[in-house]
Chains A and B, each alone.
Chain A
């Protein structure tokens, strides 16, 4: 053979090898997951916590639960929004992870796609969990996972700003007393309240306590109560009691605004508790008031542990063992302290409060909270929510009156959920 021919042959071989590798990639995923039998082997676990690396307490907890069940767990952390798409694609390819931890409003979407097993089919006991938290994972009477913790929203307040403006926090009981307090703060040269009204799910999440607190229902966005809630926020922005930047605030940027110490109130979640302690702000926590007083139902946040459908059903036994291990009281207390969440069971909540008394207002807030996909809305919720944050944006930016924005949102939502 001449040198030239040898080179030619080599090229053919390289090309063939490339094709073979590509083919290998395509089948690799399925062979590795189906060849391992029920006992021993590797179990996959996806969660939305890319911030925790292999040395974190969370990763170690998962490892030890794997060891307890006699398997190795391979954990991957994805960004929250990315995880939904990854889970759908994996479902399509038949390569779902054995355990999947997802944000609670996504559960109904994945369940609708037929990716998730019901807890009943799996024999996973859900009786210990608080009904209002578990409800976010229930559709048509079926439960598609268990919560590992819950968070919700409340108002953080800055005591020094309030006292400088002469506001007694005990006087803040309902919407009108809150608006009065904000007006006093603004008159004293400080800023009233900051929240997130961005055009994404975060915006709806933050608006819901006011929407529900007014007595409105997601099935009727343009009810008088719904328009009242929209008007409350719109007037705050219009009268300078809330900054215009709320329209573009994520929950992180609104928190940064509150941490400047200029704001009297900031609407934010359980997960900021550590941050506010570190900031040195003299803070307090107030449950978001309903229109006429009393606590408003805030939406529950937090993740659900689900067990996706596998071709090899023998794997479920071990997956359930791992799930039980991760939701044991000791594990929940540990995990929820790490995440700064409220535990989803009474027993674990009591243990948390015993250790961190600050958590009591949050435990109360979670008790009156409500899942976004509850009331059997399921996959209708994302469609309604999109219109709800749209209405908030329309109204707060002044493009439309609260009434017109709510009417438009309701008719669009009605068409979308038909």
Chain B
């Protein structure tokens, strides 16, 4: 919430070129017994605070608590799990699955975002031309976003099926060899990345498109008068002015993609043989994938994911501060 507000203020400031002045410091009233006004303020605040505590603070606390104890099914139900400190983290980090899972998470996230962002950007610029049918076409591009994930992931799984999938029948029709998209260790990760890129394009398209609309047209007109071609207009005007919007798009994309679970689980179950396992699917696999839930290491992996997302969040805030200082 806060980031989008500062963002819109910033982009407005950039585009309009007006200097933002800090709001005047509120004059403080003398302290006395709380007025009904203050009580009412707390009254309004209370539901929100209760909501935050119950639905955000407590689950987070519980997840940390789970990861620092050795929970078996018995101690999960009966209580009395032994405190083991960071043992679960150590065992997770030394697990042979951790390295590949981390690598797959990184590949999955980075490749997904590069393609989602560049394709989304290309389409946004394309649709910004306002040609006939552009609104209809743009609406069609939103379909992946509107479909329930179970539908799109299952459809991808069918299309990529080794024996009867449409993708292989096209490849074989063109004289190629059957590709085991979902069932060979070389291809499984690629397949889920392709599906995830397809699902992520609309999000990038919509945000970048709305960012484009904030760029005043006179800049392009001025550039056209100076004889700039389309390529120059994009790199000299569109791209720099879209920087703040791009930053938030990429950050949000990063956080969404880090925790993607459903697409991978539905398409490959993280397999074959862990070849498409990410930290998110690994965590789920440990907690709910077998008849004997292993909650503590699963929670530890979940917390590692939260920390990775947090780091990127802080990096974003730091970058934004620096930008604000410079401008």
With contacts A12-B39, A247-B272, A382-B291 taken as known, whether A92 is within 8 angstroms of B76 at the C-beta atoms is yes
Q: Which of B82-90, B176-184, B239-247, B306-314 contacts A (4 or more CB under 8 A)?
A: B176-184
List chain B residues, Cβ under 8 A from A257.
Answer: 163-164
B273-291 interface code vs A (CB 8 A; 1 in, 0 out) = 1110000000000001111
CB distance from B75 to the nearest CB of A (A): 9
State whether the Cβ of B292 lies closer than 8 Å to any Cβ in chain A: yes
A31 to B295, CA, bound (A): 29
Q: Is the CB of B78 within 8 A of A396?
A: no
A13 to B42, CA, bound (A): 11
CB distance from A402 to the nearest CB of B (A): 13
A355 to B269, CA, bound (A): 41
Considering only CB atoms, which chain B residue lies closest to A386 in the complex? B290
State whether the Cβ of B270 lies closer than 8 Å to any Cβ in chain A: yes
Q: Which of B44-52, B131-139, B195-203 contacts A (4 or more CB under 8 A)?
A: B44-52
CB distance from A18 to the nearest CB of B (A): 5
- Which B residues between 234 and 271 are near A, CB-CB below 8 angstroms? 268-271
Considering only CB atoms, which chain A residue lies closest to B49 in the complex? A15
State whether the Cβ of A123 lies closer than 8 Å to any Cβ in chain B: no
A142 to B256, CA, bound (A): 47
List chain B residues, Cβ under 8 A from A277.
Answer: none
Considering only CB atoms, which chain A residue lies closest to B78 in the complex? A114
State whether the Cβ of B36 lies closer than 8 Å to any Cβ in chain A: yes
State whether the Cβ of A351 lies closer than 8 Å to any Cβ in chain B: no
Q: Is the CB of A399 within 8 A of B77?
A: no
List chain B residues, Cβ under 8 A from A103.
Answer: 291
Q: Is the CB of A14 within 8 A of B43?
A: yes
Q: Is the CB of B291 within 8 A of A399?
A: no
State whether the Cβ of B74 lies closer than 8 Å to any Cβ in chain A: yes
List chain B residues, Cβ under 8 A from A246.
Answer: 183
State whether the Cβ of A272 lies closer than 8 Å to any Cβ in chain B: no
State whether the Cβ of B144 lies closer than 8 Å to any Cβ in chain A: no
Q: Is the CB of B272 within 8 A of A200?
A: no
Q: Residue B163 contacts which of A92, A244, A381 (CB distance < 8 angstroms)?
A: A244
State whether the Cβ of B143 lies closer than 8 Å to any Cβ in chain A: no
Q: Which of A3-11, A208-216, A285-293 contacts B (4 or more CB under 8 A)?
A: A3-11
A245 to B270, CA, bound (A): 15
State whether the Cβ of B40 lies closer than 8 Å to any Cβ in chain A: yes
State whether the Cβ of A379 lies closer than 8 Å to any Cβ in chain B: yes
A4 to B39, CA, bound (A): 12
Q: Is the CB of A81 within 8 A of B273?
A: no
List chain A residues, Cβ under 8 A from B180.
Answer: 244, 247
List chain A residues, Cβ under 8 A from B273.
Answer: 199, 390, 393-394, 397, 399-400
State whether the Cβ of A264 lies closer than 8 Å to any Cβ in chain B: no
With contacts A198-B269, A200-B289, A394-B273 taken as known, whether A8 is within 8 angstroms of B37 at the C-beta atoms is yes
CB distance from B234 to the nearest CB of A (A): 42
State whether the Cβ of A188 lies closer than 8 Å to any Cβ in chain B: no
B21-57 interface code vs A (CB 8 A; 1 in, 0 out) = 0000000000000001101101110110010001000
Q: Is the CB of B37 within 8 A of A200?
A: no
Taking residues whose C-beta sits less than 8 angstroms from the other chain, chain A's interface range is 35 or more
State whether the Cβ of B73 lies closer than 8 Å to any Cβ in chain A: yes
Considering only CB atoms, which chain B residue lies closest to A17 in the complex? B47
Q: Is the CB of B290 within 8 A of A198?
A: no
Q: Is the CB of B162 within 8 A of A399?
A: no
Q: Residue A12 contacts which of B40, B54, B288 (CB distance < 8 angstroms)?
A: B40
A257 to B54, CA, bound (A): 47
With contacts A19-B50, A245-B162 taken as known, whether A8 is within 8 angstroms of B289 at the C-beta atoms is no
A373-414 interface code vs B (CB 8 A; 1 in, 0 out) = 000000101110110001001101111100000000000000
State whether the Cβ of A105 lies closer than 8 Å to any Cβ in chain B: yes
Q: Is the CB of B291 within 8 A of A18?
A: no
CB distance from B74 to the nearest CB of A (A): 5
CB distance from A7 to the nearest CB of B (A): 7
State whether the Cβ of B161 lies closer than 8 Å to any Cβ in chain A: yes
List chain A residues, Cβ under 8 A from B162.
Answer: 243-245, 248
Considering only CB atoms, which chain A residue lies closest to B45 in the complex? A15
CB distance from A24 to the nearest CB of B (A): 14
Q: Is the CB of B46 within 8 A of A15?
A: yes
B70-106 interface code vs A (CB 8 A; 1 in, 0 out) = 0011101110000000000000000000000000000
Q: Which of A40-48, A83-91, A226-234 contacts B (4 or more CB under 8 A)?
A: A83-91
Q: Is the CB of A243 within 8 A of B184?
A: no
State whether the Cβ of A146 lies closer than 8 Å to any Cβ in chain B: no
Q: Residue B47 contacts which of A18, A105, A200, A245 (CB distance < 8 angstroms)?
A: A18
A82-125 interface code vs B (CB 8 A; 1 in, 0 out) = 00110010011000000000010110111011110000000000
Which 9 pairs of residues, A with B, have the shortest CB-CB distance? Answer: A8-B40, A382-B292, A247-B183, A12-B43, A397-B272, A199-B271, A11-B43, A15-B46, A113-B73
Interface positions of B (Cβ within 8 A of A): 36-37, 39-40, 42-44, 46-47, 50, 54, 72-74, 76-78, 157, 161-164, 178, 180, 182-185, 268-275, 288-293
Q: List 5 A-B contacts (CB under 8 A).
A: A18-B47, A109-B292, A244-B180, A382-B290, A393-B271
Known: A13-B43, A200-B269. 6 other contacts (CB 8 A): A14-B43, A84-B291, A88-B293, A112-B74, A199-B270, A399-B272
